[in-house]
A and B are shown apart, each in its own frame.
Chain A
Amino acid sequence: MSNILEARHVVKRYAGHTALDKVSIEVPAGSIFGLLGPNGAGKTSLIRIINQITAPDEGEIILLGEKLQPKHIEVIGYLPEERGLYKKMKVGEQLLYLAQLKGMSKAEATEKLKHWFIKFDIKDWWNKNVEDLSKGMQQKTQFIATIVHEPKLIILDEPFSGFDPINANLLKDEILELKEKGTTIIFSTHRMESVEELCDHIALINKSKVVLHGAKKEVKNRFRDNSYTIEFIGTLNANPLFFEVLDSKPLEDGITQSHIKLVEGVSVNQMITVLLEQVMLISFNENIPSFNEIFIKVVGGEANDIL
Chain B
Amino acid sequence: MNKILLIIQREYTTRVRKKSFWIASLLVPILIAAIYAIPLYLFLNSNDTKTIEVVDESKLFKGKLQSEEDITFKFIETTFDQAKKNLYKGNADIVVSIPKDILDNPNGVKMVGKKSIGLSTQFSIQGKIQNELRNIKLQRANIDLKVLEENKVNVNAKTYTLNEDGGEQSSSSTGAMILAGIFGMILYISAFLYGSQVMNGVIEEKSNRIIEVMISSVRPFQLMMGKIVGVGLVGLTQFLLWGVLTFGASTATTAIMSGKIQEKVETLKQSGAGSDEIKKYQDSVKDTNPLSSISQTIENISLAKIIICFFLFYIGGYLLYSSLFAAIGSAVENASEAQQFMFPVTIPIILSFILAQVIIQKPDSPIAFWASIFPLTSPIDMMVRLPFGVPNWEIALSFVLLVFGFLGTTWFAGKVYRVGILMYGKKPTWKEISKWVFYKG
A interface residues (Cβ-Cβ under 8 A, vs B) = 15, 48, 51-55, 57, 70, 73, 76, 78, 80, 82-89, 97-98, 100-102, 142, 145
Contacts and interface: CB of A to CB of B under 8 A. Distances in A.
Nearest to A142: B213
Contacts of B215: 53
Given A73-B216, A86-B210, A101-B7, 4 more contacts: A53-B422, A82-B212, A89-B14, A97-B10
Contact of B435 (A15, A86, A89, A97): A15
Chain B interface category by residue count = 20 to 34
A87 B208 contact: yes
B37 to A, nearest CB: 37
A76 B215 CA distance: 12
A101 B6 contact: yes
Contacts of B7: 101
A98 B209 CA distance: 14
B435 A84 contact: no
14 contacts: A52-B216, A54-B441, A73-B216, A78-B212, A78-B216, A80-B213, A80-B216, A83-B209, A84-B211, A84-B212, A86-B205, A97-B10, A98-B217, A102-B217
Given A15-B435, A97-B6, A55 B213 contact: no
Interface in B1-42: 3, 6-7, 10, 14
Given A89-B14, A101-B6, A84 B213 contact: yes
B78 to A, nearest CB: 72
Contacts of B440: 55, 57
B214 interface: yes
B39 to A, nearest CB: 41
B193 interface: no
Contacts of B204: 86
A123 to B, nearest CB: 23
A89 B205 CA distance: 12
Contact of B209 (A48, A82, A100, A101): A82
B345 interface: no
Interface in B182-233: 204-205, 208-219
Contact of B212 (A73, A76, A80, A89): A80
A277 B14 CA distance: 81
Nearest to A97: B10
Interface of B: 3, 6-7, 10, 14, 204-205, 208-219, 422, 435, 440-441
A185 to B, nearest CB: 16
A101 B208 contact: no
A5 to B, nearest CB: 15
In the complex, which of the residues B212, B216, B422 has the most CB atoms of chain A within 10 Å of its own CB atom? B216
Contacts of B6: 97, 100-101
B216 A84 contact: no
A29 to B, nearest CB: 21
9 cross-chain pairs, A with B, having the tightest CB-CB distances, nearest first: A84-B209, A55-B441, A84-B210, A82-B209, A80-B212, A101-B217, A51-B216, A84-B208, A78-B216
A76 B210 contact: no
Contacts of A97: 6, 10
Contacts of A84: 208-213
Contact of B216 (A55, A76, A83, A85): A76
A98 B6 CA distance: 10
A98 B435 CA distance: 32
B213 A145 contact: yes
Contacts of B435: 15
B395 to A, nearest CB: 40
A57 B439 CA distance: 10
Contacts of B212: 53, 78, 80, 82, 84
Contacts of A15: 435
Contacts of A70: 219
A142 B209 CA distance: 12
Contacts of B217: 73, 98, 101-102
A83 B219 CA distance: 19
A52 B220 CA distance: 11
A162 to B, nearest CB: 12
Contacts of A86: 14, 204-205, 208, 210
Contacts of A100: 6
Nearest to A102: B217
A88 B20 CA distance: 14
Contacts of A51: 216
Nearest to B419: A54
Contacts of B216: 51-53, 73, 76, 78, 80
Contacts of A145: 213
Given A53-B422, A97-B6, A101-B218, A78 B210 contact: no
Nearest to A157: B212
B10 to A, nearest CB: 6
Contacts of A55: 440-441
Contacts of A98: 213, 217
Contacts of A80: 209, 212-213, 216
